[in-house]
Amino acid sequence: RRGRAGPALDKLDLEIVQDVASHIALAISNAGLVQQLEHSEQLRVARERASVASSLLDAIVENIPDMVFVKDADRLAFVRVNRAGETLLGISRDELIGKTDFDLFPPSEAAFFVATDRETLRGTAVVEVAEEPIQTGQGRRWLHTKKVPLVDASGTPRYLLGISHDITERKQAIAELSAAQARAEHAIRELESFSYSVAHDLRAPLRAIDGFSQALVEDYDDQLDNEGRRYLRSIRAAAQRMAELIDDLLALSRVARSDLRRSRVDLSAIAHSLLGGMRLLEPARRVEIVIAPGVVAEADPQLAAIALGNLLGNAWKFTSKRDAARIELGVVDHVGELTYFVRDNGAGFDMAYSDKLFGVFQRLHTDAEFPGTGIGLATVARITQRHRGRIWADSAVDQGATFYFTLAEAHA
């Protein structure tokens, strides 16, 4: 019986196998369809995301207030320009796209643009053009442009991206400011020259007034009463005071007019010499002098001595009412810049009036308290300005004062 059943079983087996195979094929087909559907969904999502990203990028580029442009790497023809670029150039996008610089601008300008484009495409870094002129529908403008190559996966440049900022107004403002500064400097020089001439011419008559007043006192003293002598003393004092003011004004004028020649100046040595001279004039005074060794500066030696003379002279004067006075010269590193200082423990001043310190004839103390002309600190300020430095002070009433100054080329 087994032999008879064999063919029937073989047929049944074949049918079963075929049925299973068809189910497997259907399953495989369905799996393929599922994969295709999943892949299609992924593509759809990816495309949607790409579309959103592209729209966002378009919105960003279109709303940047500077000109943004893209050129192809082969012909350097424009393939994209934003709204700001259209407005700046006065050329529509339709006219720009596909055109090269030589189609749009004068040959000399176009050649310059193309040269910097090629330089950009040869490298990988940003190329910056600080100033470039361009002829536009609004006339001649000046641009500050940055360019960078856009490369493919293999590193080959395919496009050039550029961003241009219109600096025309800023450049014009700088030029106008420079011209105004030049006019102001010329006016100041003329005023200084006039002041110098007037001050110089006044010295002779003042000397005559002082001399004749002294002659009257010496030759006619017995013929003058006390009131007459007092009048003559007042005349002499006023003439001498005026002469002192004129001398200080002339010194200030010379500071502004003289040539500045920098060299290595030993400020410590100058301070020792100046304060030594002050000690000789007032040997009875008790003054502790602290001078940091090796304080040097790259400055004009003559002007540096004048500045220190005024600062140390003030310190000496404003400590005159101290039983134990202290005057110090030193230097500190302030943000990488050598900052010199003169410090004292004298009368000090109210910082509320510090804006008056460096003006001509500005004084924070009366002549009765501390005599002076009000020109010394103005002279120091002018000297620091000429060295492209600055000066400022820190003080409190009856707590002394510290004057700081820099000389521009002094670095820590």
pLDDT tens by residue, the chain, 412 residues:
444 444 554 555 556 555 655 555 556 566 666 666 666 767 666 677 766 666 777 788 888 899 999 999 999 999 999 999 999 999 999 999 999 999 999 999 999 999 999 999 999 889 999 999 998 888 899 999 999 999 988 889 999 999 999 999 999 999 999 999 998 888 777 776 776 777 677 777 888 888 888 888 888 888 888 888 888 888 888 888 778 777 777 777 777 777 888 999 999 999 999 999 999 999 999 999 999 999 999 999 989 999 999 999 999 999 999 999 999 999 998 878 899 999 999 988 888 888 888 877 777 776 667 777 777 888 899 899 999 999 999 999 889 999 999 998 644 4
DSSP strand pairing (325-334 vs 391-395): unpaired
Helix, strand, or coil (residue 52): helix
Strands (DSSP E) contained in 78-188 are 78-81, 127-136, 139-151, 157-166
The Cα–Cα gap between 272 and 289 comes to 9
Q: What's the pLDDT score for residue 30?
A: 63
Q: What's the pLDDT score for residue 1?
A: 43
pTM of the model: 0.52
Q: What's the pLDDT score for residue 36?
A: 67
Q: What's the pLDDT score for residue 412?
A: 47
Contacts of 57 (CB under 8 A, 6+ apart): none
- Rg, C-alpha atoms of the chain: 43
Q: What's the pLDDT score for residue 190?
A: 74
Instruction: Tell me how far CA of residue 205 lies from CA of 146, 202, 232, 240, 304, in angstroms.
Output: 67, 6, 16, 12, 32
Contacts of 314 (CB under 8 A, 6+ apart): 344, 376, 377, 403
CA 181 to chain centre: 17
User: If you search the block for the tokens 């000090």, which residue do you land on?
Assistant: 348
The answer to whether the CB of 146 falls within 8 A of the CB of 132 is no
